[in-house]
Amino acid sequence: MDANVTKPPEIQFIPANWESISSFAGSLAVFVPENGSVNELARKLDNICGGQISKYLASPEFVDLKAPGIEVIGYPGGCTARSLLVAKVPVDATPEQMKRLGTGIAMKAAKSGVCVLAGDLDTISDIALGVSLGSYSFDRYRTAKPDQKNRENSLLVVTGDPKIASDGYHSAAAVAKGVNFTRDLVNEPANILTTCEFAKRVSEFRELGLSVSVLEEAELERIGMRTLLSVGAGSATPSKVAMIEWKGASGPPLALVGKGVVFDTGGISIKPALRMEEMTMDMAGAAVVAGVMKTLAMRKSPSHVVGALGLVENMPGGRALRPGDVVKSLKGDTVEVINTDAEGRLVLADLLWYVQDTHKPSAMIDLATLTGAIIVGIGNELAGVFSNDDELVDAFLCAAEREGEGAWRMPLHDPYDKLLKSRVADIKNVGDRSAGAVTAAQFLKRFVKADLPWIHMDIAGVAYSEGKSGAVPKGATGWGVQSIDRLIKERFEVT
Ligand code: BES
Ligand code: ZN
Ligand code: ZN
């Protein structure tokens, strides 16, 4: 398909030039503290547009606006802008709140472009990151582009010292690039993002200094990754494992492992038609791993991290895996497949074992859109996080809180193992209807060495959004890239 790809606009930091601010055709945004006086830039803009800002600030609506919050004033006088966005900043605003205001500003400006009058706020990087995340959209496959006339396709941040601001933004820019890269992968339809295309896109990471190797089917067969291969057996697109390594430090790596099912029909245990199209996002775990690896390389993180992506397609067909089949994992344990739709754990079982064998990591995190049961349990605001290591998982939960990505610890509990007892093999791939997300985690735990700190993240509920919260776009969210990058910054970097 001829995808007419337009590059997203990049954040530019500029000094206050009132002539160009007055003639900016997009949205102009100012920050107003909840209590205290407005800054120089907001006052100047207020003069230009005939006191419209101060009029709003004196209104009961401003008093009622909960901080952090944004008010839109349409078509202000005295300037070309389509709207003025007034962001109300709480006392002692957290970096996350400033990021969220940036996102809100960009989302309210939609595609009209935005010029943010930030001034010398010390949270300017957080705001800019928010703006960059909030301006994301996926319109690669819309042939009718919106009318660009009288629109500004730019993201400008006005500040007293553009050089300092843009230098300071370097690391946050890498995060924005990583998150939006993940979102693109997750939003891509499965006829475009095949296993081959996925491997090709991460192979381009070599330009950033990452090592990338792609293991093909024959090699996976030779290694003995048969549970992973069994999932892709019915597909015309070949199964692959992509290994990505960032060596910004020596010593054993942190391993990130992602479920990359490019489409999940359920296989022979086929899914119902209703909303099956959403299963194009069943590779979100692998996409988050890819996004984190990109971020690490772009910000030259002093850490050692290895990413493993299991790229397969779960299709029915003459060669497809059947219910009742028994498959031998790389670890050596045999698995009776009861339901071919519980395929993610078959992919991860081999991948987890492979990474531990080859890289001897100091810790391991896997990400997967693993179960519908996690959505039944905790919905779409929180990812389910399972871990055998209190310290590691607490550090992650802190990082997630700091980044505004919802996460909640769920139990690992060995008595649930009995639900996975098989009549013919060492283990079966599903339990009964109870505790579906926990039994999936217990299944994975079998493939994690006992003393290795490990977190399993079931992201089925958070990888994709209806876009109602206003904090993430409709479709792919990129959930996890920011929290994992933060965890790496705080726990896995040499200082
Ligand atoms: N990819 C699905 C899980 C999923 C469901 C992700 C909804 C996102 C939204 C997974 O492979 C799956 O189908 N799991 C089954 C497991 C069951 C057969 C034990 C499920 O959750 O129904
Ligand atoms: Zn499935
Ligand atoms: Zn799946």
Tens-digit pLDDT profile for residues 54-100: 999 999 999 999 999 999 999 999 999 999 999 999 999 999 999 99
> Does residue 7 carry a pLDDT above 70?
no
DSSP class of residue 146 equals P
| Mean pLDDT in residue range 259-275 | 98
Asked whether residue 5 is domain-assigned, the answer is: no
> Does residue 8 carry a pLDDT above 80?
no
pTM strictly above 0.85: yes
Structural contact between residues 459 and 408, judged by C-beta atoms closer than 8 angstroms? no
| Mean pLDDT in residue range 240-247 | 99
- Top pLDDT among 318 and 470 is at 318
Domain coverage including residue 185: 173-492
Mutation probe of ligand 1 site: the residue of 274, 276, 341, 427 with most atoms within 8 A of C-beta: 341
> Does residue 152 carry a pLDDT above 90?
no
Distance between CA atoms of residues 307 and 202, nearest Å: 11
Could you report the per-residue pLDDT of 219-239, keeping only the tens digit for each?
999 999 999 999 999 999 999
> Does residue 267 carry a pLDDT above 70?
yes
| Distance from Cα 70 to the centre of ligand 2, integer Å | 40
> Does residue 354 carry a pLDDT above 90?
yes
| Mean pLDDT in residue range 149-178 | 92
Distance between CA atoms of residues 11 and 102, nearest Å: 12
Distance between CA atoms of residues 138 and 394, nearest Å: 34
Looking at the structure, tell me whether residues 303 and 333 fall in a common domain. Answer: yes
Number of domains in the chain: 2
**Domain at 353, CATH number:** 3.40.630.10
Asked whether residue 307 is domain-assigned, the answer is: yes
Looking at the structure, tell me whether residues 128 and 15 fall in a common domain. Answer: yes
What percent of the chain has a predicted confidence (pLDDT) above 70?
A: 97
| Distance from Cα 218 to the centre of ligand 2, integer Å | 24
Looking at the structure, tell me whether residues 82 and 192 fall in a common domain. Answer: no
Looking at the structure, tell me whether residues 225 and 370 fall in a common domain. Answer: yes
Domain boundary pick from 160, 184, 204: 160
Asked whether residue 3 is domain-assigned, the answer is: no
Could you report the per-residue pLDDT of 368-379, keeping only the tens digit for each?
999 999 999 999
Structural contact between residues 11 and 131, judged by C-beta atoms closer than 8 angstroms? yes
3-class DSSP state of 99: helix
3-class DSSP state of 176: helix
Looking at the structure, tell me whether residues 91 and 223 fall in a common domain. Answer: no
Measured in degrees and rounded to the nearest 5, phi and psi for residue 305 equal -135, 135
The confidence score (pLDDT) of residue 147 equals: 62
> Does residue 304 carry a pLDDT above 50?
yes
CA neighbor of 198 nearest in space, from 158, 244, 240: 240
Looking at the structure, tell me whether residues 182 and 152 fall in a common domain. Answer: no
Asked whether residue 345 is domain-assigned, the answer is: yes
For residue 437 and ligand 1, the question of a CB distance below 6 A is answered with no
| Mean pLDDT in residue range 91-120 | 94
Among protein residues, the one whose CA lies closest to atom 7 of ligand 1 = 372
Domain boundary pick from 126, 160, 194: 160
> Does residue 1 carry a pLDDT above 50?
no
For residue 461 and ligand 1, the question of a CB distance below 6 A is answered with no
Looking at the structure, tell me whether residues 120 and 179 fall in a common domain. Answer: no
Give catalytic status of residue 446 as yes or no: no
Asked whether residue 2 is domain-assigned, the answer is: no
Mean of per-residue pLDDT scores for the chain: 96
Asked whether residue 244 is domain-assigned, the answer is: yes
Looking at the structure, tell me whether residues 132 and 31 fall in a common domain. Answer: yes
| Distance from Cα 354 to the centre of ligand 2, integer Å | 22
Can the peptide bond before residue 68 be classed as cis, meaning omega within 30 degrees of 0?
yes
For residue 458 and ligand 1, the question of a CB distance below 6 A is answered with no
The confidence score (pLDDT) of residue 148 equals: 61
| Mean pLDDT in residue range 13-31 | 96
Among protein residues, the one whose CA lies closest to atom 13 of ligand 1 = 341
Looking at the structure, tell me whether residues 260 and 195 fall in a common domain. Answer: yes
Structure token pair of residue 29? 């945004």
> Does residue 468 carry a pLDDT above 90?
no
Cβ < 5 A residues, ion ligand 2: 264, 341, 343
Structural contact between residues 302 and 254, judged by C-beta atoms closer than 8 angstroms? no
Structural contact between residues 227 and 349, judged by C-beta atoms closer than 8 angstroms? yes
Looking at the structure, tell me whether residues 68 and 215 fall in a common domain. Answer: no
The confidence score (pLDDT) of residue 149 equals: 60
**Domain at 116, CATH number:** 3.40.220.10
The confidence score (pLDDT) of residue 3 equals: 47
Distance between CA atoms of residues 286 and 307, nearest Å: 9
- Top pLDDT among 139 and 355 is at 355
Structural contact between residues 402 and 486, judged by C-beta atoms closer than 8 angstroms? yes
Distance between CA atoms of residues 460 and 440, nearest Å: 12
Asked whether residue 54 is domain-assigned, the answer is: yes
For residue 194 and ligand 1, the question of a CB distance below 6 A is answered with no
> Does residue 383 carry a pLDDT above 50?
yes
The confidence score (pLDDT) of residue 4 equals: 46
Looking at the structure, tell me whether residues 83 and 119 fall in a common domain. Answer: yes
CA neighbor of 263 nearest in space, from 237, 241, 243, 242: 237
Domain boundary pick from 160, 183, 206: 160
Asked whether residue 279 is domain-assigned, the answer is: yes
Distance between CA atoms of residues 342 and 348, nearest Å: 11
Mutation probe of ligand 1 site: the residue of 288, 315, 348, 371 with most atoms within 8 A of C-beta: 371
Looking at the structure, tell me whether residues 71 and 93 fall in a common domain. Answer: yes
What percent of the chain has a predicted confidence (pLDDT) above 90?
A: 92
Give catalytic status of residue 222 as yes or no: no
| Distance from Cα 430 to the centre of ligand 1, integer Å | 11
